[in-house]
Amino acid sequence: MDVLLQQFFNLEIMGKALPLVLQGLKTTLLICAIVIPMGLLGGVLVALATRSSLRALRVCVTLLVDLMRALPPLVVLILVYSGLPFLGLRISPLTAVTIAFFLNNAAYYGEIIRAGIESVPAGQWEAARSTGLRADQTVLWVILPQGLRNVLPDLVSNTVEVVKLTSLASVVSLQEMLYSADMARSLTFNASPIVLAALIYFALLWPAVRLVSRLEHAAAR
Protein backbone atom coordinates (compact mmCIF):
# COMPACT_ATOMS: atom_id res chain seq x y z
CA MET A 1 0.00 0.00 0.00
CA ASP A 2 2.82 2.35 0.94
CA VAL A 3 4.57 1.54 -2.31
CA LEU A 4 1.42 2.40 -4.24
CA LEU A 5 1.13 5.76 -2.52
CA GLN A 6 4.84 6.41 -3.04
CA GLN A 7 4.69 5.62 -6.73
CA PHE A 8 1.32 7.08 -7.71
CA PHE A 9 0.31 9.67 -5.13
CA ASN A 10 3.64 11.11 -4.04
CA LEU A 11 2.70 14.61 -2.93
CA GLU A 12 6.27 15.84 -2.83
CA ILE A 13 6.89 14.87 -6.44
CA MET A 14 3.50 16.22 -7.47
CA GLY A 15 4.40 19.52 -5.87
CA LYS A 16 7.67 19.68 -7.77
CA ALA A 17 5.99 18.74 -11.06
CA LEU A 18 3.10 21.15 -10.61
CA PRO A 19 4.65 24.23 -12.28
CA LEU A 20 5.67 22.18 -15.32
CA VAL A 21 2.27 20.49 -15.53
CA LEU A 22 0.45 23.82 -15.20
CA GLN A 23 2.64 25.19 -17.97
CA GLY A 24 1.41 22.25 -20.06
CA LEU A 25 -2.17 22.92 -19.02
CA LYS A 26 -1.88 26.40 -20.54
CA THR A 27 -0.95 24.86 -23.88
CA THR A 28 -3.77 22.33 -23.54
CA LEU A 29 -6.23 25.16 -22.99
CA LEU A 30 -4.73 27.08 -25.91
CA ILE A 31 -5.25 24.07 -28.19
CA CYS A 32 -8.84 23.80 -26.95
CA ALA A 33 -9.43 27.49 -27.62
CA ILE A 34 -8.29 26.95 -31.19
CA VAL A 35 -9.79 23.59 -32.10
CA ILE A 36 -13.22 23.76 -30.42
CA PRO A 37 -14.49 26.94 -32.18
CA MET A 38 -12.90 25.84 -35.43
CA GLY A 39 -14.46 22.40 -35.10
CA LEU A 40 -17.91 23.82 -34.40
CA LEU A 41 -17.69 26.22 -37.33
CA GLY A 42 -16.40 23.44 -39.56
CA GLY A 43 -19.21 21.24 -38.28
CA VAL A 44 -21.88 23.75 -39.29
CA LEU A 45 -20.28 24.02 -42.74
CA VAL A 46 -20.11 20.23 -43.08
CA ALA A 47 -23.73 19.89 -41.97
CA LEU A 48 -24.92 22.48 -44.46
CA ALA A 49 -22.75 20.97 -47.20
CA THR A 50 -24.25 17.49 -46.73
CA ARG A 51 -27.64 19.07 -47.39
CA SER A 52 -26.44 21.17 -50.30
CA SER A 53 -27.95 20.83 -53.76
CA LEU A 54 -24.47 20.65 -55.30
CA ARG A 55 -23.81 16.98 -55.78
CA ALA A 56 -20.01 17.33 -55.99
CA LEU A 57 -19.92 19.17 -52.69
CA ARG A 58 -22.11 16.55 -51.02
CA VAL A 59 -19.89 13.73 -52.25
CA CYS A 60 -16.68 15.46 -51.08
CA VAL A 61 -18.05 16.16 -47.63
CA THR A 62 -19.52 12.69 -47.20
CA LEU A 63 -16.12 11.28 -48.18
CA LEU A 64 -14.39 13.45 -45.57
CA VAL A 65 -16.85 12.42 -42.87
CA ASP A 66 -16.54 8.71 -43.63
CA LEU A 67 -12.74 8.96 -43.83
CA MET A 68 -12.63 10.59 -40.41
CA ARG A 69 -15.04 8.05 -38.96
CA ALA A 70 -12.77 5.25 -40.15
CA LEU A 71 -9.34 6.69 -39.28
CA PRO A 72 -8.21 6.96 -35.65
CA PRO A 73 -7.50 10.63 -34.79
CA LEU A 74 -3.92 9.72 -33.89
CA VAL A 75 -3.42 8.30 -37.38
CA VAL A 76 -4.77 11.51 -38.95
CA LEU A 77 -2.39 13.52 -36.78
CA ILE A 78 0.62 11.40 -37.72
CA LEU A 79 -0.36 11.51 -41.40
CA VAL A 80 -0.47 15.31 -41.29
CA TYR A 81 2.63 15.77 -39.15
CA SER A 82 4.85 13.19 -40.83
CA GLY A 83 3.28 13.23 -44.26
CA LEU A 84 3.17 16.92 -45.19
CA PRO A 85 6.97 17.40 -44.96
CA PHE A 86 7.27 14.90 -47.81
CA LEU A 87 5.28 17.39 -49.88
CA GLY A 88 7.86 20.01 -48.99
CA LEU A 89 5.69 21.63 -46.30
CA ARG A 90 7.50 22.10 -43.01
CA ILE A 91 4.91 22.62 -40.29
CA SER A 92 5.06 23.14 -36.55
CA PRO A 93 3.47 20.61 -34.16
CA LEU A 94 0.75 23.14 -33.31
CA THR A 95 -0.10 23.62 -36.98
CA ALA A 96 -0.24 19.86 -37.48
CA VAL A 97 -2.51 19.49 -34.46
CA THR A 98 -4.73 22.30 -35.69
CA ILE A 99 -5.10 20.83 -39.18
CA ALA A 100 -5.62 17.23 -38.05
CA PHE A 101 -8.12 18.09 -35.33
CA PHE A 102 -9.99 20.47 -37.62
CA LEU A 103 -10.54 17.65 -40.11
CA ASN A 104 -11.58 15.22 -37.39
CA ASN A 105 -13.74 17.61 -35.37
CA ALA A 106 -15.49 19.16 -38.36
CA ALA A 107 -16.57 15.66 -39.39
CA TYR A 108 -17.85 14.65 -35.94
CA TYR A 109 -19.50 17.96 -35.05
CA GLY A 110 -20.88 17.99 -38.61
CA GLU A 111 -22.66 14.65 -38.17
CA ILE A 112 -24.19 15.83 -34.89
CA ILE A 113 -25.29 19.19 -36.25
CA ARG A 114 -26.75 17.53 -39.34
CA ALA A 115 -28.88 15.31 -37.10
CA GLY A 116 -29.93 18.43 -35.21
CA ILE A 117 -30.96 20.25 -38.38
CA GLU A 118 -32.90 17.21 -39.55
CA SER A 119 -34.76 17.09 -36.24
CA VAL A 120 -36.37 20.47 -36.94
CA PRO A 121 -39.78 19.95 -38.56
CA ALA A 122 -40.13 21.08 -42.19
CA GLY A 123 -42.96 23.37 -41.13
CA GLN A 124 -40.44 25.63 -39.38
CA TRP A 125 -38.59 26.15 -42.65
CA GLU A 126 -41.81 26.84 -44.52
CA ALA A 127 -43.11 29.20 -41.85
CA ALA A 128 -39.89 31.22 -41.82
CA ARG A 129 -39.73 31.44 -45.61
CA SER A 130 -43.38 32.45 -45.75
CA THR A 131 -42.59 35.50 -43.61
CA GLY A 132 -40.04 36.59 -46.21
CA LEU A 133 -36.83 35.43 -44.51
CA ARG A 134 -34.06 34.45 -46.94
CA ALA A 135 -32.66 30.92 -46.86
CA ASP A 136 -29.52 31.96 -44.97
CA GLN A 137 -31.56 33.99 -42.48
CA THR A 138 -33.87 31.04 -41.95
CA VAL A 139 -30.93 28.74 -41.22
CA LEU A 140 -29.27 31.22 -38.88
CA TRP A 141 -32.28 32.42 -36.89
CA VAL A 142 -34.79 29.57 -37.07
CA ILE A 143 -33.26 26.21 -37.96
CA LEU A 144 -29.85 26.25 -36.23
CA PRO A 145 -31.02 27.50 -32.81
CA GLN A 146 -33.64 24.75 -32.58
CA GLY A 147 -31.46 22.08 -34.16
CA LEU A 148 -28.48 22.76 -31.91
CA ARG A 149 -30.65 22.68 -28.83
CA ASN A 150 -32.08 19.32 -29.85
CA VAL A 151 -28.60 17.77 -29.99
CA LEU A 152 -27.09 19.60 -27.03
CA PRO A 153 -26.15 16.42 -25.12
CA ASP A 154 -24.23 15.12 -28.15
CA LEU A 155 -22.50 18.46 -28.67
CA VAL A 156 -21.33 18.60 -25.05
CA SER A 157 -20.30 14.95 -25.16
CA ASN A 158 -18.28 15.48 -28.34
CA THR A 159 -16.62 18.55 -26.86
CA VAL A 160 -15.47 16.41 -23.92
CA GLU A 161 -13.97 14.03 -26.47
CA VAL A 162 -12.23 16.93 -28.24
CA VAL A 163 -10.61 18.11 -25.01
CA LYS A 164 -9.45 14.53 -24.34
CA LEU A 165 -8.09 14.36 -27.89
CA THR A 166 -5.71 17.24 -27.21
CA SER A 167 -3.58 14.79 -25.21
CA LEU A 168 -2.61 13.19 -28.54
CA ALA A 169 -0.62 16.34 -29.32
CA SER A 170 2.04 14.98 -26.96
CA VAL A 171 2.81 12.33 -29.58
CA VAL A 172 4.04 15.04 -31.99
CA SER A 173 6.05 16.67 -29.16
CA LEU A 174 3.70 19.55 -28.54
CA GLN A 175 4.31 20.43 -24.90
CA GLU A 176 0.77 20.24 -23.60
CA MET A 177 -0.22 18.81 -20.23
CA LEU A 178 0.37 15.12 -20.89
CA TYR A 179 3.73 15.83 -22.54
CA SER A 180 4.83 17.91 -19.56
CA ALA A 181 3.60 15.33 -17.06
CA ASP A 182 5.36 12.54 -18.91
CA MET A 183 8.55 14.60 -18.99
CA ALA A 184 8.30 15.03 -15.23
CA ARG A 185 7.70 11.31 -14.92
CA SER A 186 10.83 10.45 -16.87
CA LEU A 187 12.87 12.87 -14.74
CA THR A 188 11.59 11.58 -11.41
CA PHE A 189 11.08 7.90 -12.33
CA ASN A 190 7.72 8.20 -10.60
CA ALA A 191 4.18 8.05 -12.05
CA SER A 192 2.74 10.70 -9.72
CA PRO A 193 3.05 13.57 -12.26
CA ILE A 194 0.82 11.62 -14.67
CA VAL A 195 -1.66 11.01 -11.87
CA LEU A 196 -1.58 14.76 -11.29
CA ALA A 197 -2.36 15.38 -14.96
CA ALA A 198 -5.14 12.79 -14.84
CA LEU A 199 -6.64 14.55 -11.82
CA ILE A 200 -6.52 17.90 -13.60
CA TYR A 201 -8.23 16.40 -16.68
CA PHE A 202 -10.83 14.90 -14.37
CA ALA A 203 -11.43 18.18 -12.55
CA LEU A 204 -11.71 19.94 -15.90
CA LEU A 205 -14.11 17.50 -17.52
CA TRP A 206 -16.09 15.98 -14.68
CA PRO A 207 -18.77 18.68 -14.63
CA ALA A 208 -19.26 18.25 -18.37
CA VAL A 209 -19.41 14.46 -18.07
CA ARG A 210 -22.04 14.72 -15.32
CA LEU A 211 -23.98 17.23 -17.40
CA VAL A 212 -24.02 14.82 -20.34
CA SER A 213 -25.42 12.05 -18.14
CA ARG A 214 -28.08 14.38 -16.78
CA LEU A 215 -29.10 15.57 -20.23
CA GLU A 216 -29.17 12.04 -21.65
CA HIS A 217 -31.20 10.62 -18.78
CA ALA A 218 -33.63 13.50 -19.07
CA ALA A 219 -33.96 12.88 -22.81
CA ALA A 220 -34.55 9.16 -22.33
CA ARG A 221 -37.47 9.65 -19.94
Partner 1 sequence: MERFLDSFLNAKLIAATWPAILSGLVVTVEIAALVVVTGLLLGLALALLRWRAGRWIGWPLMLFVDLFRAVPPLVLVLLIFFGLPNVGIELPSFAVLWLVLSLVLAAFAEEIVWAGLIAVKRGQSEAARSTGLSENQTLIYVVLPQALRLAVPPLTNRTIAITKNTALGTVIGVPEIINQATTAVSFSGNATPLLMGAFAYLLLFVPVIGLGRWIESRFAWRRQ
Among 38, 41, 198, 211, binds partner 1 (CB under 8 A): 198
Residue 161's alpha-carbon distances to 32, 123, 146, 158, 212, in angstroms, are 11, 34, 23, 5, 12
Q: Which is nearer to partner 1, 63 or 127 (CB)?
A: 63
Which residues, including other chains, have CB under 8 Å from residue 165's CB and lie 6 or more apart?
A: 73, 101, 104
Distance from C-alpha of 212 to C-alpha of 145, rounded to nearest angstrom: 19
Residue 51's alpha-carbon distances to 45, 59, 146, in angstroms, are 10, 11, 17
Binding of partner 1 by 173 (CB under 8 A): no
Binding of partner 1 by 171 (CB under 8 A): yes
Distance from C-alpha of 86 to C-alpha of 105, rounded to nearest angstrom: 25
Site string for partner 1, 63-102 (x = CB under 8 A): ---xx-xxxxxxx--xx--xx--xx---------------
Interaction residues for partner 1, span 96-155 (CB under 8 A): none
Binding of partner 1 by 3 (CB under 8 A): yes
Binding of partner 1 by 32 (CB under 8 A): no
Q: How far is the CB of 90 from partner 1 (least distance, A)?
A: 14
Interface ranges with partner 1 (CB under 8 A): 3-4, 7-8, 66-67, 69-75, 78-79, 82-83, 86-87, 160-161, 164-168, 170-171, 178, 181-182, 185, 189-191, 194-195, 197-198, 201-202, 204-206, 208-210, 213, 216-217, 220-221
